[in-house]
């Protein structure tokens, strides 16, 4: 038995810190080209210690990498007004609100109040709609201002690029053609937008949650301009995992584990849950394993902030 649990297992464990470092090189280079310091304004309107920690962490990371950060601690009843002020304030490049605020559907109204031109998190209705429709620019037909994508899904895409899952031989926008990807989690914040983004880039995506499996795909030969969704009746993890090159899982809590024996030999496995969705034996099956992604997500926040700052027309007249 000892012999069968081999000591020479081939799996490459890739840490988020390594990927974040590579992305930061790009962000830093682009920041220098801007010739000014992008300013992020954060809004904290609750007593949640997790939100406070996230705010402190944003402050540290932005400043460390040459961005400016201002934290506003406000009464939650004043928040919408404050956001409206920031929307038109020329000194503000990006806005981030620390949720939950009311922890009801009212929070969505606040999300919708943030101007799409200052939304570093990519949660504005117009940005979300662009993403699902595979519209990649804000200023069609000029196509100079790239749309902003939500941080966590974009972080996962950047991780897949780093892992060479995107094939640069293929045309931009089709570089996942031929890839089969299972995404376990279909939340509105990460799982569903991620499945849509991957399918828009050419992959066949199996989106899995407790209600079942949906396929997101642009169809044979990628003849459709954007993905379509269909229910996969009778499908479960077994069907999805046996044909997937890539498995991405983000189920909250520490109960859920992806069944390793169903994963294809040599698959690429990425965990975006704050807990570990894969058991340690995943390394005996996967070719590449990414155990966490948080450090990449924060770099994407900086990248989005930089893009918002670059998109501002005033840049044309600044020195």
* Number of CB atoms found within 10 A of residue 309's CB: 22
Give the shortest CB-186-to-a copy of itself separation in angstroms.
23
Closer residue to a copy of itself, CB minimum distance, 12 or 230:
12
Closer residue to a copy of itself, CB minimum distance, 93 or 201:
201
Integer Cα distance of 144 and 189 in angstroms: 27
Closer residue to a copy of itself, CB minimum distance, 179 or 192:
179
Q: Is the peptide bond before 148 cis (omega within 30 degrees of 0)?
A: no
Binding-site string for a copy of itself from residue 244 to residue 283, where x marks contact by CB under 8 A and - marks none: -x------------------xxxxx---------------
Integer Cα distance of 112 and 312 in angstroms: 20
Q: What is the DSSP letter of 146?
A: B
Q: Is 84 in the site for a copy of itself (CB under 8 A)?
A: no
Q: Which residues contact 231 (CB under 8 A, 6 or more apart)?
A: 212, 213, 214
139: nearest Cα among 117, 155, 122, 154: 117
Residue 250: both structure tokens together: 């983000």
Binding-site string for a copy of itself from residue 151 to residue 190, where x marks contact by CB under 8 A and - marks none: -----------xxx--xxxxx--x--xxx-----------
Closer residue to a copy of itself, CB minimum distance, 20 or 40:
20
Binding-site string for a copy of itself from residue 21 to residue 60, where x marks contact by CB under 8 A and - marks none: ----------------------------------------
Task: State which of positions 204-233 bind a copy of itself (CB under 8 A).
Answer: 204, 220-223
Integer Cα distance of 174 and 245 in angstroms: 16
Residues annotated as catalytic (active site), given as ranges: 151
Closer residue to a copy of itself, CB minimum distance, 195 or 251:
195
Integer Cα distance of 242 and 236 in angstroms: 10
Per-state percent for the chain, helix, strand, coil, to nearest 5: 40, 15, 45
Binding site for a copy of itself (CB under 8 A): 6, 8-12, 14, 162-164, 167-171, 174, 177-179, 202, 204, 220-223, 243, 245, 264-268, 284-285, 287-288
């Amino acid at each position: 038995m000892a012999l069968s649990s081999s000591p020479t297992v081939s799996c490459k464990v890739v840490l988020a810190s390594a990927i974040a470092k590579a992305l930061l090189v790009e962000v830093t280079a682009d920041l220098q080209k801007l010739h000014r310091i992008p300013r992020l304004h954060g809004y904290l309107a609750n007593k949640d210690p997790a939100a406070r920690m996230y705010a402190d962490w944003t402050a540290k990371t932005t400043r460390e990498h040459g961005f400016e950060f201002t934290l506003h601690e406000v009464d939650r009843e004043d928040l919408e007004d404050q956001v409206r002020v920031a929307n038109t304030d020329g000194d503000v490049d990006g806005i981030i609100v620390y949720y939950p605020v009311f922890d009801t559907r009212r929070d969505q109204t606040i999300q919708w109040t943030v101007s799409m031109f200052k939304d570093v998190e990519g949660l504005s209705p117009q940005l979300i709609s662009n993403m699902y429709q595979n519209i990649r620019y804000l200023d069609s037909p000029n196509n100079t201002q790239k749309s902003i994508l939500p941080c966590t899904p974009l972080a996962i895409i950047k991780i897949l690029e780093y892992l060479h899952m995107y094939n640069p031989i293929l045309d931009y926008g089709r570089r996942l053609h031929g890839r089969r990807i299972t995404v376990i989690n279909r939340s509105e914040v990460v799982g569903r937008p991620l499945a849509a983004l991957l399918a828009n880039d050419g992959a066949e995506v199996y989106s899995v949650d407790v209600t079942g499996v949906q396929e997101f795909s642009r169809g044979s030969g990628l003849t459709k301009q954007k993905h379509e969704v269909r229910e996969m009746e009778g499908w479960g993890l077994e069907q999805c995992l046996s044909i997937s090159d890539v498995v991405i899982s983000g189920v909250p809590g520490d109960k859920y584990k992806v069944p390793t024996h169903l994963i294809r030999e040599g698959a690429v496995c990425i965990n975006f849950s704050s807990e570990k969705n894969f058991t340690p034996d995943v390394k005996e099956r996967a070719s590449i394993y990414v155990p966490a992604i948080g450090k990449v997500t924060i770099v994407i926040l900086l990248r989005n902030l930089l893009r918002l700052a670059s998109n501002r027309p005033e840049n044309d007249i600044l020195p």
